[in-house]
């Protein structure tokens, strides 16, 4: 996901636009973004404040937890670094949306460790969890998420069961990195039929009273802005 893509210049971004202007232009066309950069390093407060100030009041940032938390063996993460991350990210307020826990395929189910992690997270923030190991898809996991008011992420790559875990929905459309280059700034694969299916899913979530946070990777069709427009049209139709 994200916005810092030079290969969108001349399409979503104006010709000659500097990278510092990408986010503001992105936010003039979209109402939310999933921040991928935080997965790799904790941003400074000044960086976070610059993000916040570049977008309108109704724009929302979904933010990935650092990999030092989600990818730590047996979730034995550095609590001090987690605290720094949470403090810095608060500078996005009031434009801070969900915080995303994206767990790797190698992470085996350990409900005690997950419970301990979720217990440390702020109760006043929306939290979503994505599991890339099917062994997590059990009633014990769903109960744990429900008890901590955490939303189970829905995705097209590893179909998570449709389980009621919290009062908002989080959708990630990833695509196939082997089939899509993603850096050509053009649609490489026709995803319109699949997009219609997800539009129906989103409409059902909205009709049930849920807020929906949905994000599309550059590897989905090759050009997310087109996918977003297609999704919007199908939701309205």
pLDDT digits (tens, 9 = 90+) for 1-49: 899 999 999 999 999 999 999 999 999 999 999 999 999 999 999 999 9
Rounded CA Rg of the chain: 18
**Structural tokens at position 31:** 């109402």
**Structure tokens belonging to residue 7:** 């290969």
Q: For 106, how many CA atoms within 13 A lie in the half-sphere containing its CB? A: 6
Nearest by Cα to 204 from 156, 164, 160: 164
- Read off the pLDDT of residues 155-166 as tens digits, 9 standing for 90 and up: 987 666 667 677
Provide the pLDDT for residue 15: 95
Residues in contact with 154: Cβ distance below 8 Å, sequence separation at least 6, in sequence order: 160, 162, 169, 170, 171, 172, 201
Strand partners, 60: 32
Global pTM value:
0.94
Task: Please name the CATH architecture into which domain 6-236 falls.
Answer: Alpha-Beta Barrel (3.20)
């Amino acid at each position: 996901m994200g916005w810092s893509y030079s290969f969108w210049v001349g399409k979503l971004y104006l010709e000659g636009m500097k990278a510092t202007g990408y986010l503001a232009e992105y936010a003039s066309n979209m109402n939310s973004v999933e921040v991928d950069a935080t997965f790799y390093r904790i941003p400074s407060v000044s960086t976070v404040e610059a993000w916040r100030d570049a977008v309108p009041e109704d724009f929302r940032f979904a933010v990935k937890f650092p990999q030092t938390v989600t990818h730590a063996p047996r979730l034995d993460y550095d609590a001090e670094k987690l605290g720094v991350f949470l403090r810095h990210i608060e500078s996005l307020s009031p434009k801070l949306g969900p915080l995303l826990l994206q767990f790797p395929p190698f992470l085996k189910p350990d409900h005690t460790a997950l419970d301990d992690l979720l217990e440390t997270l702020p109760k006043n923030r929306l939290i979503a969890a994505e599991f890339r190991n099917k062994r997590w898809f059990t009633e014990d996991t769903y109960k744990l998420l429900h008890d901590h008011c955490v939303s189970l992420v829905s995705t097209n790559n590893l179909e998570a069961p449709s389980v009621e875990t919290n009062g908002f929905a989080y959708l990630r459309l990833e695509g196939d990195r082997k089939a899509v280059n993603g850096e050509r700034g053009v649609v490489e694969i026709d995803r319109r039929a699949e997009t219609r299916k997800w539009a129906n899913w989103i409409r059902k979530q909205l009709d049930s009273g849920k807020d929906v946070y949905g994000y599309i990777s550059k590897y989905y069709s090759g050009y997310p802005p087109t996918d977003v427009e297609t999704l919007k049209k199908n939701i309205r139709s």
